[in-house]
Amino acid sequence: MVTAVRHLGPHWYAAVMGTAAVATAGAALPVPRVPGLRTGCAAVWALSLLLLLALLAARALHWAHHRDQARAHLLDPAVAPFYGCLSMALLAVGGGALTAGRDWIGDAAALAVDTVLFTAGTATGLAAAVAVPYLMAVRHRADAAQATPVWLLPLVAPMVAAATGPLLVPHLPPGQARRTLLLGCVAMFGLSLLATSLMLPLVFARLITGGPLPLALTPSLFLVLGPLGQSTTAVGAFADAAPGALPAPYGEGFGVLAVLYGVPVMGFALLWLGLAAAHVVRARRHGMGFAMTWWAFTFPVGTCVTGAAALARHTGLFVYDGLAVGLYGLLVAAWAVAAVRTARGLLSGALLAAPRTAPVAPRPVTVRTTSGAVR
């Protein structure tokens, strides 16, 4: 077991995030009661909790017995941004406890789970949002031509905290406690939004000027949907929690913000979804195989589901109901494919093997000319 986790990187938390997203997005769907939906969401949430606990234990073994590899991950510009996934996994499972898991474990236990995971997830997310960009500037020395959507991961983590924190607001005493938590979530929304706004132009410029991403990284284009859908979800959550936490007119003002911010941002998210999908289709035609980056098809799409559901609540438009349902179908299909392929990779040992290194020099090639001579 100790040897098996040597190459277990922080990117594995993406599987937890994607699984939790299926549960939370399903619980948020703005549709009449569908038989079995809530039970299914609760079961998937329970699976995400088990995956989180197993992965936390495996990563603890990794740090305890393979510290050289763990340090190498931190100093690798391609791996370090994935440390933001730890925070988002904690927050996603914690938020899912109150929206989906409470049907199985009860309200009191769900509140306790969310409180612990939200606290831990927020602390690690804020740390990652500072530490990873610092390492990128001081130790990694990454070039602009290397920019990928993976760079967004540590910056999106505080946005996930901002979107899940309002679930805890009604459980706090009225007054200072509720206001502090809600406005703290608004502050995390702002810091994540502005930081993402600085990083996203680098990613887009790299894509336009440098050409398509490498095949294995092409699914990471879906990561851009994360801050878009999550920020739309966040402003909708602010609007839901504000009337009971803030005095007028601020409580009502967040309802206006949810629409004025969410509608254009969701429009851009749909534009990016089309662009990313086109790149993925091209990559598949060029031989893109399965990699753990396929989990990028899950959690970011899940944030768009909850964002569309928030817009459905605050606009009353059926088009957002349909959008949420359609995106949820895409999410479930992507999760099923990624989960099956990941399970196969684990059973075969391929996903836990050491990464293959490229040959230092090209191998000698024997070429036969049209005349039959060999060179």
Q: In this structure, are residues 161 and 185 in contact, taking their beta carbons and an 8 Å threshold? A: yes
Which pLDDT does position 374 carry in this prediction?
Answer: 40
> pLDDT band at 1, cuts 50/70/90?
low
Which pLDDT does position 172 carry in this prediction?
Answer: 96
Which pLDDT does position 364 carry in this prediction?
Answer: 41
- Indicate if the pLDDT at residue 263 is higher than 70: yes
High-pLDDT (> 90) share of the chain, %: 78
Instruction: Tell me the CA distances in angstroms from 271 to 133, 212, 218, one per residue in order.
Output: 28, 17, 17
- Indicate if the pLDDT at residue 264 is higher than 50: yes
- Indicate if the pLDDT at residue 357 is higher than 60: no
Which pLDDT does position 127 carry in this prediction?
Answer: 97
Q: Mean pLDDT, the chain, as a whole number?
A: 91
**Lowest-confidence pick of 34-43, 138-147, 171-180, 348-357:** 348-357
> pLDDT band at 372, cuts 50/70/90?
very low
Which pLDDT does position 141 carry in this prediction?
Answer: 79
Alpha-carbon gap, residue 246 to 254, rounded angstroms: 10
Which pLDDT does position 356 carry in this prediction?
Answer: 62
Q: What are residue 293's phi and psi, to 5 degrees?
A: -65, -15
